[in-house]
Amino acid sequence: MTRAQERWGLGILLGLVVLSVLPALRGEWLVDDVPLVLQNRHVHALSWENVSWAFTHDMWDVDLELAQSSARSVYYRPLVLLSYALDWILGAGTTTSFHVTNLILHLGVTYLVVRALTRWLGSSTLGLVGGALYALHPAKIESVAWISGRPDLLATLGILIACEGVARGLRRHSGSAPLVFLGMALGYLSKETTVVLPLLAFIEILVVRRERGARFTPLFDRETLRVVAPQLVVAVSYLTLRHFFLPLRPFAITGL
């Protein structure tokens, strides 16, 4: 596939993503949107008090009843809350700005998914096909159409930005470190699934070695330690801090 064909294919895919989400842009507040956004005074302004609250409380600590409930999961997602606050200001409390932001995030994720799959699979055609399967899958469209699905979008965007930075660094391209740091910050402050980054960094190493034609290179050498070890340290540190300050606990279904 030529570069022109790649651009056309990507453009068509992004257009299909927009068309698939357009009906949701006028959607109203649904289920979790009500306590998390509509009734949550902490996301109705970008004051120092609200920013501080976002970084020192879990996402569902929105009222006394929920805060004291043991039958709920604990989520640390300050960037999600801050993005809600920004949308509340921009949209004057309407849902439109929230849906538009989710769409923009999904378009960015789709672009980076295509890039990542093209690297990993060694084919721009397969990258586009895989990107289409990802971007248009009903489960992913749900995360875009549902305001409360934003953690998935922000975390995935952060993970893929970090992968892009790792890939650039392995190929000795400039600007790798800022991308890695930006992606890690965006991911870890949005959702717990960002702990998969060490594994994805290792995949990027294997991809580069395939490109180099290296068949018998040891899996765990200095390059692996240089790239993967920092990711492991951050992931373990994150989980350790969460264990002591905001323990992850499974959601308990009561009343059955």
Compute mean pLDDT per 10 residues along the chain, 256 residues long, and list them: 86 94 88 90 91 90 61 83 95 92 96 96 93 91 89 96 95 91 96 94 90 69 87 94 76 42
pTM: 0.90
CA proximity to 156, closest of 174, 167, 144, 146? 144
In the prediction, which pLDDT does 157 show?
Answer: 97
In the prediction, which pLDDT does 256 show?
Answer: 33
Instruction: Report the b/e string of 181-205 with b at 16+ CB within 10 A.
Output: ebbbebbbbbbbebbebbebbbbbb
In the prediction, which pLDDT does 111 show?
Answer: 96
Q: Compute the Cα dihedral for 238, 239, 240, 243 and give only its sign.
A: positive
